[in-house]
Amino acid sequence: MFFEMSKVIDNIKVCDNYFLLRIYNPRINFDFFPGQFLEIKISKSCNAFFKRPFAIFDLERDSFSVLYHVIGEGTKALTDYKSGDLLEILYPLGNYYPFEKAYSYDNIFIVVGGIGFASVYFLIKRLLKVSGKKVFVILGFKTKKDVFCLQFISDLKKIYSNLEFIVATDDGTLGMSGNVIDVFNEISKDLDNIIIFSCGPKKMLQNLSKNIAMSSKNICCYASFETIMGCGIGICNGCSIKIRNNDTYLFKKVCQDGPIFNLRDVLWD
Ligand SMILES: Cc1cc2nc3c(=O)[nH]c(=O)nc-3n(C[C@H](O)[C@H](O)[C@H](O)COP(=O)(O)OP(=O)(O)OC[C@H]3O[C@@H](n4cnc5c(N)ncnc54)[C@H](O)[C@@H]3O)c2cc1C
Ligand code: FES
């Protein structure tokens, strides 16, 4: 884990309330894995005490990027950072999507809700490059105006013929009508031996978890949990979730033991 001041390359508005921040990667020989995250101290125009967690969206030779949704004080202040500014970052944090497990499954799905896309983009690229299998990506949004990532996924499709993607909106204003779980059920109805990698709102993950539990198919799912975090480094217990442990449960910290968990192990209250 490194704690460094890193230089902002650029911080570009992708569309309303979504920005792509690129930062020089001071450690070009260090291996990052899909699903890991970093903590950013946002001090410009903001008094936030805690750093804010963001998934590593993408990695290039000498830079990495963060795709973020502006929802509050910290993310709003983050938009003020310009090329050449310095950001205090702590990275890489957490475990990663166990992408190597994809080799043992016949069908690979990525099921995403909203900004969850930021957590899986790097994973999608890695799976497309190394799995040699078709990667089916289902992207869900409330409505058309929330669809911020079409350009990123369309650009990948131009490079990788093994990518299939589908956009769904709850209100049917773009792509398929319905939520990502209905769409997944429809597309996978004749398939078995499936691995899913997922990230999205808690409610979506909870429904996905129920869906898998009720299925008679061989499905496993690893999901990234974007809980609200305090310290981000295992001290405050603010990010704990309940994980099955034989007939009982134990608490695991999303920041340290996660953010990726096997969905079958997670207990929901
Ligand atoms: C491991 C991890 C990876 C993440 N990756 C990304 C990413 O790549 N891109 C991205 O845009 N966001 C990501 N997030 C969420 C991001 O950390 C929060 O959106 C951010 O911290 C909000 O900061 P803020 O100061 O703008 O909001 P605040 O002012 O702190 O909060 C504004 C409102 O948003 C709510 N809120 C805050 N954090 C979250 C959250 N995690 N989930 C739901 N509601 C929240 C608050 O309760 C409040 O109502 C990630 C979170 C985690 C834990
Ligand atoms: S955020 Fe403090 S323990 Fe995880």
* pLDDT tens-digit map of 227-257: 999 999 999 999 999 999 999 999 999 999 9
Q: What CATH code is carried by the domain that includes residue 6? A: 2.40.30.10
Q: Are strands 194-199 and 107-113 parallel, antiparallel or unpaired?
A: parallel
Length of the chain counted residue by residue = 269
Q: How many domains, in total, are found in the chain? A: 2
Q: Burial, 50: exposed, middle or buried (Cβ in 10 Å; 0-12, 13-18, 19+)?
A: middle
Give 31's pLDDT tier (boundaries 50, 70, 90).
Answer: confident
Q: Name the residue of 57, 69, 75 whose CB sits within 8 Å of the most ligand 1 atoms, as the mutation to test its pocket.
A: 75
Average pLDDT over residues 211-238: 95
CB 232 within 8 A of CB 37: no
The answer to whether residue 9 sits within a structural domain is yes
Domain identity same for 104 and 200: yes
CB 140 within 8 A of CB 200: yes
Q: Burial, 247: exposed, middle or buried (Cβ in 10 Å; 0-12, 13-18, 19+)?
A: exposed
Cα distance between residue 199 and residue 17, in whole Å? 19
CB 67 within 8 A of CB 118: yes
Domain boundary, last residue among 93, 128, 144: 93
Residues 8-17 pLDDT 10s: 999 999 999 9
The answer to whether residue 171 sits within a structural domain is yes
Average pLDDT over residues 182-211: 97
Domain identity same for 113 and 42: no
Domain identity same for 81 and 195: no
For residue 23, is pLDDT > 80? yes
Q: Is 39 in the pocket of ligand 1 (CB under 6 A)?
A: no
Domain identity same for 89 and 59: yes
Q: What CATH code is carried by the domain that includes residue 173? A: 3.40.50.80
Domain identity same for 114 and 188: yes
Ligand 1 centre distance from Cα of residue 228 (Å): 6
pLDDT given at position 28: 74
pLDDT given at position 26: 77
Percent of the chain's residues with pLDDT above 90:
90
pLDDT given at position 243: 97
For residue 27, is pLDDT > 90? no
The answer to whether residue 78 sits within a structural domain is yes
pLDDT given at position 129: 93
Domain boundary, last residue among 93, 112, 130: 93
CA angle at 20 for the pair 151 and 44, rounded to the nearest 5°: 160
Domain boundary, last residue among 77, 93, 109: 93
What is the chain's mean pLDDT, rounded?
95
For residue 65, is pLDDT > 80? yes
pLDDT: which is higher, 269 or 7: 7
Exposure on the CB side of residue 157, measured as CA atoms within 13 A: 11
pLDDT given at position 30: 80
Cα distance between residue 211 and residue 220, in whole Å? 11
pLDDT given at position 44: 85
pLDDT given at position 61: 81
The answer to whether residue 245 sits within a structural domain is no
The answer to whether residue 121 sits within a structural domain is yes
Domain identity same for 148 and 221: yes
Spell out where the chain has E strands.
2-15, 18-24, 37-41, 52-55, 58-60, 63-69, 86-93, 107-113, 135-141, 163-169, 176-177, 194-199, 219-224, 240-245, 248-253, 260-262, 266-267
Give 269's pLDDT tier (boundaries 50, 70, 90).
Answer: confident
Residues 122-135 pLDDT 10s: 999 999 999 889 99
CB atoms within 10 A of CB 112: 28
Give 40's pLDDT tier (boundaries 50, 70, 90).
Answer: very high
Domain identity same for 79 and 147: no
Ligand 2 centre distance from Cα of residue 41 (Å): 15
CB 127 within 8 A of CB 160: no
Closest atom of ligand 1 relative to the 42 alpha carbon: 25
Domain identity same for 113 and 197: yes
pLDDT given at position 48: 79
The answer to whether residue 8 sits within a structural domain is yes
Residues 91-131 pLDDT 10s: 999 999 999 999 999 999 999 999 999 999 999 999 999 98
Q: Are strands 176-177 and 248-253 parallel, antiparallel or unpaired?
A: unpaired
Ligand whose nearest atom lies closest to the CA of 238: 2
CA angle at 77 for the pair 94 and 80, rounded to the nearest 5°: 110
Residues 83-92 pLDDT 10s: 999 999 999 9
Ligand 2 centre distance from Cα of residue 221 (Å): 24
Instruction: Name the helix (H) or strand (E) containing 227.
Output: none
Sign of the Cα pseudo-torsion (166, 168, 172, 176, in order): positive
Q: Is 74 in the pocket of ligand 1 (CB under 6 A)?
A: yes
In sequence order, the 6+-apart residues with CB closer than 8 A to the CB of 202 are 225, 227
For residue 169, give the 3-state DSSP assignment: strand
pLDDT given at position 29: 74
Domain identity same for 60 and 135: no
Domain that holds residue 118: 99-225
Q: Whose CA is nearest to atom 48 of ligand 1?
A: 72
Q: Is 223 in the pocket of ligand 1 (CB under 6 A)?
A: no
pLDDT given at position 132: 87
